[in-house]
Amino acid sequence: MTTDNDRVAAFHLLEKGTLVPFRVVKEELTAGPDDGEFAVRIELVMDGEEECEPADVAAWGALGFMYVLAGLSFHDARPRGASELEYKARDDFRVSDFLERLRFERGELHFYADYVRGRRMKTEITVRSQGTVKLETFGRGKSAVRWLARLQGKKTLAAVQRSEGEA
């Protein structure tokens, strides 16, 4: 059950998280057991304006940015195997889902979600104090690349080329 306080907290995190400026520094694909099971690792930097250092952006935006990425992962995730029993197509990522999986270790914020209410998230997010971010997904295809593109306002769909003879 989601309360009004939960919604207010979620909106606050979403608002902060969507305001975080960032740029992709490195994108890496690692092969898995089959074509769809590869891992994606993306290194980012919270790239603020000239007078705003990445560490300053991390200070006000780290939690929100992580929540937004985790929420995109949740909403994009589908069941796999036995997890289908728990899966509900209409479900929301909750602040409690986020907080249960959040930890602070060695000066870094870490979020990791395997399965959440039947959704195979397989997503790990690390935010370091200097404003760098590592986003990793496992067996999710290139979905993390699409989440980041959405956050930057980029279109992720391309027009389909018509072959000769089509009207």
Q: According to the model, what pLDDT value does residue 139 have? A: 87
Q: Where are the domains of the chain?
A: 10-151
pLDDT digits (tens, 9 = 90+) for 77-103: 988 887 777 778 889 999 999 999 999
pLDDT digits (tens, 9 = 90+) for 66-80: 999 999 999 999 888
Would the pLDDT of 13 be above 70? Answer: yes
Q: According to the model, what pLDDT value does residue 72 have? A: 96
Angle between helices 143-151 and 54-76 (to 10 degrees): 130
Mean pLDDT for 34-49 is 84
pLDDT category of residue 31 using cuts at 50, 70 and 90: confident
Most confident of 6-10, 132-136, 141-145: 132-136
Would the pLDDT of 167 be above 60? Answer: no
The amino acid that residue 20 corresponds to is V
Q: What is the mean pLDDT of the chain?
A: 89
Token code pair at residue 59: 């200070």
| Whole-prediction pTM | 0.86
Mean pLDDT for 27-46 is 86
Q: What percent of the chain has pLDDT over 90?
A: 66
pLDDT digits (tens, 9 = 90+) for 97-120: 999 999 999 999 999 999 999 999
pLDDT category of residue 52 using cuts at 50, 70 and 90: confident
Would the pLDDT of 121 be above 80? Answer: yes
